[in-house]
Chains A and B, each alone.
Chain A
Amino acid sequence: MLKYIRSLLGGQPRPVVEILPQGLRITLDAGQTVLEAALAEGIAYPHNCTVGTCGSCKTRLRQGEVKAVTDFGYTLSKQELEAGYILACQAVPCTPHIQVEIPSPGAELPSPQAFQATVVATEALTHDILKVCVTPDRPVPYVAGQYASFTAPGLPRARHYSFAEAPQRSGRNELTFFIRKVPGGRFTDALFSGQLAGKTLAMEAPHGEFHLRGGNAPMVCIVGGSGLAPLLSVLEDARKNRIRRPCVLLFGARTEADLYMLDAIRDIAQGWLEPFKFVPVLSHEEPGSPWKGARGLVTEHIAAACNDFDCKASEGYLCGPPPMIDAAIGKLTELGLPLDAIFYDKFTDGRDEALAA
């Protein structure tokens, strides 16, 4: 009661919030939420709806106590509540000092589960990349950057394809993949010829360790071929959560006809809160073509693309064919990026023969 009367009289000290992993300390005004105060201080705090509904600002309360402006239970699960998670946009400290931690997107990678997924639509993105939409038998939880494994009837081995869209909090009911045709590949032959349309496949998901790390380091993203899928998912998710990180996206393709999802990239660029540079690079474009963009190997343009920010303090996110990734790692380390700040997903040839070789 005494505490309440004191709060009415304004005698309470302004609460201090320590934000991990950045280790920042901010002081809150009376009635201010953790998120409001952080944004007012210019701190890049993940958020989206700001009304306690989307879960983007989910935060672990390490020390102290908070009260919820709008009950956390509308959005957080029972397990999250029990694990001490709060929503920064609705949390007002009720102790003089609290410590919160913004969890890395990959802090809790969901366990893989078995699903039945039906191929409901396909759309040609380029001459050899197909956008494939499947409907699983129940919502699929995943972290942006992860992949699913598919097994078609009669094929001995699973094929792995990355989710191309941002995940949803309660799992996605519709999944999209970008699948490149592998010459002689039995799975993609069946898929591209329409034999799998309407078919139900066994799917296991999610898998993979590729995801956006926490913090606010600039991002150097390099993709080739169908490697755009996981990065599109990562970037779309980051944009949705209003992550504030400078970003450069290098997209390597053979010709202009091999560039795809440019609308989606444009939307991400327009909604990105920090500078976003998109650099398409064509390796086999006819010399006389009207293409005015970069030519050559995508890895040859990394240094020029990164000249707007401190490359040494950046993180590299690479997805695509192994030679491109190996070359990109070499180039990024030359530019001063430590190896442990480079994350990649190699897209290998999935043919049974190729694996046997």
Chain B
Amino acid sequence: MDYLKYYLAPLTQILAAIGFLLGGNYVWIGLAWLPICAVLDYFLKPDYSVRRMRNRTLAYIPIWLSTLMGPLLYVALAWSVSHHGLTTVQSLGAVLGCAWLSVLPLVPAAHELYHARGKIGKTVARYAQVCYLDSTRMEAHVVGHHIDVGTPADSDTATRGETLYTFSPKAVVKSTIQAQQFIGDSLVKKGHARWGIRHALWRAILALGLFLVLLYGIGGWHAVVVSLSSMVVARFWIETFNYFQHYGQVRVTGAPIEKRHVWNHFGTLSRLLAFEITNHADHHLNSYQTYYSLVPHRESVHMPSVFICFFAALLPPVWFHGIIKPALREWDLKWANAEERALARAQNLKAGWEDWFNDGQAAGNSTATAAG
């Protein structure tokens, strides 16, 4: 049964692709998954179960399907806009639907493949990410994010007080630049030119060019413009997930990464559609583990589903007061160590937030002694 659950992710993409092929208001199917999943995930109980899956090949079929469906969805979109005479509103729905499915489930599916060991999987994942204009995401994520999470160097960690609207463009620029630097640094160490032909950026641009040529062949310039619009929207949309998965976390640079340093989302659909990327703590601690081997951190601060967090993040007052301040307050007082509490307090004060360290609980923690 556990194996079957994860087919929900490619199913959302396949139905959306069928919607694009049917045209008319069926093009809304892709975007419709967002509110449907949000409502369902809200009413379903959080899922803290450990998966009983052992067969890696079977477990990776939905991962591969979702990764491959990413570009195929753009092919369907290109065909749709050139064959169905969509209205402006329908085109907008198609663009947003394709962008949404490029975020979820494509991002976590590709993420699983580029964290895995297979060279073919890594390569396919790298170029499937053309769907959100980020074929060097692997470098920014693996080389940067996994070592810098919770510190100022991390492009995926939002500072307290920061809204989605300032964070998202900044994260797009910073992560893109970081990826190119990491690749260039590695080339230089091996005696190659920083911006030589070996730089992955050139292959990423070539892949995008070829993909756009394909889309042009299917639907002309209109298809290219619509597809590119969807890719750009997806690129920024992805950062909203980074926003609420790491918001306000603090860690002393160089200190060990612990389970507490990321937010987890254990909504039933959050876990399934995101291929356990929301089972976040164990992924950061045991990054070589397959998605179905990750063990939920049950004791962590409870966070709502990824869908609720997304909608809340769009409305900063709702995000701050309804979700993240209560979560950070609990984190600061219950989970943070002394140095982290100092960093957190400084960020709170800088953001103009209330100083919840004065309620005495933090002082209680600081006098605990270590034993055993």
Given that A31-B118, A69-B117, A267-B337 are contacting pairs, would A53 and B146 also be in contact in the complex, using a CB cutoff of 8 Å? yes
- The listed residue with most A CB atoms (<10 A of its CB), out of B182, B254, B338, B366, is B254
Flag if B288 contacts A73 (CB, 8 Å): no
B316-369 contacts to A, CB under 8 A, are: 337-338, 365-369
Given that A78-B189, A263-B337 are contacting pairs, would A33 and B368 also be in contact in the complex, using a CB cutoff of 8 Å? no
A168-205 contacts to B, CB under 8 A, are: 168, 172-173
Measured CB to CB, the nearest residue on chain B to A78 is B189
Flag if A240 contacts B370 (CB, 8 Å): no
Flag if B337 contacts A50 (CB, 8 Å): no
A56-75 contacts to B, CB under 8 A, are: 69-71, 73-75
Q: Give chain B nearest CB distance to A307 CB in angstroms.
A: 14
Interface residues on B, range: 35 or more
Given that A51-B287, A172-B254 are contacting pairs, would A262 and B142 also be in contact in the complex, using a CB cutoff of 8 Å? no
A49 to B287, alpha carbons, bound, how many Å? 7
Interface string of A70-95 (1 = CB under 8 A from B): 11011111100100000001001000
Given that A51-B142, A74-B182 are contacting pairs, would A262 and B370 also be in contact in the complex, using a CB cutoff of 8 Å? yes
Measured CB to CB, the nearest residue on chain B to A176 is B339
Flag if A277 contacts B372 (CB, 8 Å): yes
A335 to B369, alpha carbons, bound, how many Å? 28
Question: Is B258 part of the contact surface with A, judged by Cβ < 8 Å?
Answer: yes
A24 to B55, alpha carbons, bound, how many Å? 29
Interface string of B157-192 (1 = CB under 8 A from A): 000000000000000000000000010011111110
Question: Is B253 part of the contact surface with A, judged by Cβ < 8 Å?
Answer: yes
Flag if B257 contacts A265 (CB, 8 Å): no
Contacts of B115 in A (CB 8 A): 51
Contacts of A311 in B (CB 8 A): none
Q: Give chain A nearest CB distance to B40 CB in angstroms.
A: 33
Given that A33-B117, A33-B288 are contacting pairs, would A49 and B368 also be in contact in the complex, using a CB cutoff of 8 Å? no
Question: Is A218 part of the contact surface with B, judged by Cβ < 8 Å?
Answer: no
Q: Give chain A nearest CB distance to B310 CB in angstroms.
A: 26
Contacts of B118 in A (CB 8 A): 31
Contacts of A269 in B (CB 8 A): 370-372
Measured CB to CB, the nearest residue on chain B to A242 is B256
Flag if A240 contacts B256 (CB, 8 Å): yes
Measured CB to CB, the nearest residue on chain A to B254 is A168
Chain A residues bordering chain B, tally (CB within 8 A): 48
Contacts of A239 in B (CB 8 A): 256
Contacts of B188 in A (CB 8 A): 78
Flag if B146 contacts A266 (CB, 8 Å): no
- The listed residue with most B CB atoms (<10 A of its CB), out of A50, A54, A92, A280, is A50
Q: For A265, give its contact among B139, B189, B255, B370 (CB under 8 Å).
A: B370
Flag if A51 contacts B338 (CB, 8 Å): no
Given that A73-B186, A73-B189 are contacting pairs, would A263 and B338 also be in contact in the complex, using a CB cutoff of 8 Å? yes
Q: Give chain B nearest CB distance to A173 CB in angstroms.
A: 8
Question: Is B37 part of the contact surface with A, judged by Cβ < 8 Å?
Answer: no
Q: For A49, give its contact among B257, B338, B366, B371 (CB under 8 Å).
A: B257
Question: Is A343 part of the contact surface with B, judged by Cβ < 8 Å?
Answer: no
Given that A53-B142, A74-B182 are contacting pairs, would A48 and B256 also be in contact in the complex, using a CB cutoff of 8 Å? yes
Decide if the interface of chain A is mainly helix, strand, loop or mixed.
Answer: mixed
Q: For A53, give its contact among B117, B143, B190, B371 (CB under 8 Å).
A: B143
A172 to B255, alpha carbons, bound, how many Å? 11
A11-59 contacts to B, CB under 8 A, are: 31-33, 35-36, 48-54
Flag if B287 contacts A278 (CB, 8 Å): no
Flag if A50 contacts B287 (CB, 8 Å): yes
Flag if B371 contacts A50 (CB, 8 Å): no
A328 to B188, alpha carbons, bound, how many Å? 50
Interface string of A210-228 (1 = CB under 8 A from B): 0000000000000000000
Q: For B117, give its contact among A48, A49, A92, A268 (CB under 8 Å).
A: A92
Contacts of B190 in A (CB 8 A): 73, 78, 81
Flag if B287 contacts A280 (CB, 8 Å): no
Contacts of A275 in B (CB 8 A): 372
Contacts of B187 in A (CB 8 A): 73
Q: For A266, give its contact among B253, B256, B288, B369 (CB under 8 Å).
A: B369
Question: Is A114 part of the contact surface with B, judged by Cβ < 8 Å?
Answer: no
> What 10 A-B pairs have minimum CB-CB distances, sorted nearest first?
A266-B370, A73-B186, A269-B370, A168-B254, A240-B256, A263-B338, A53-B147, A265-B370, A78-B189, A51-B287
B interface, CB within 8 angstroms of A:
115, 117-118, 139, 142-144, 146-147, 182, 185-191, 253-258, 286-288, 337-338, 365-372
Contacts A49-B147, A81-B190 aside, 19 further interface pairs with beta carbons under 8 A come to: A48-B256, A49-B257, A51-B146, A52-B142, A53-B142, A73-B189, A74-B142, A74-B143, A74-B185, A75-B143, A76-B189, A78-B189, A89-B288, A236-B255, A240-B255, A262-B370, A266-B370, A267-B337, A267-B370
A-B contact pairs, 19 of them (CB 8 A): A31-B117, A31-B118, A51-B287, A70-B142, A71-B186, A74-B139, A74-B142, A74-B186, A78-B190, A81-B189, A89-B288, A168-B253, A173-B253, A264-B337, A264-B338, A269-B370, A269-B371, A270-B370, A278-B370
